[in-house]
Chains A and B, each alone.
Chain A
């Protein structure tokens, strides 16, 4: 069966510091991968998605970036964090089957920028 891992689970970082969040998927090949952010009391916002190694699409312009160095690894980064980057970051994966592309989410990383 497929599993998705995210780490760290929680993170407290000062403003201006760098960020690296990692997501890995097991048990599937060539998945689509996604990064979402959920701000406190708000819905999920898609940040990036990737359909293959080195292929990244950005949905929202911001000071975050994403990379996919391996088939089942997705990394979210920032060079300098802002207060507004605080939130719950979720990674998801999907594989298209019979016309549907169901996304499965990881446990998330709760980021607090102080």
Chain B
């Protein structure tokens, strides 16, 4: 699996959009970008994934650059419950292992 690079931590004011960047410059053509988050002492929660088009669901939006070398997860209106470690993972079909790096610790501030 390709490696990803994320900032170790970010702060976001409650109610504002949180934009979490991820670099994956060695991504292969058949690899997807997945985002998970882990709230303290809980299992990772799936957020969203995409291949090359931008994606949106009820939790977040995923913006992938045209060259697919980076992406941004957007939480449109961050709440205190969004405080968590966010992981960006690149994985291809048939790859059973998700490689979780250190992620970005997002702190939503009142």
Query: Count the B residues whose beta carbon is within 8 Å of the partner chain — how many?
Result: 22
In contact, B100 and A44 (Cβ under 8 angstroms): yes
The B interface, classified by DSSP as helix, strand, loop or mixed, is loop
A76 at the interface (CB under 8 A from B): no
Min CB distance A107 to B, Å, is 5
In contact, A105 and B43 (Cβ under 8 angstroms): yes
The A interface, classified by DSSP as helix, strand, loop or mixed, is strand
Please count the residue pairs between chain A and chain B whose beta carbons lie under 8 angstroms apart in the complex.
Answer: 49
Give the complex CA separation of A106 and B45 in angstroms. 9
Interface residues on A, range: 20 to 34
In contact, B43 and A99 (Cβ under 8 angstroms): no
Q: Using a CB–CB distance below 8 Å, which chain A residues touch chain B?
A: 32, 34, 43-44, 46, 49, 57, 59, 88, 90, 92, 96, 99-108, 110
Q: Using a CB–CB distance below 8 Å, which chain B residues touch chain A?
A: 30, 32, 34, 36, 41-46, 49, 91, 93-102
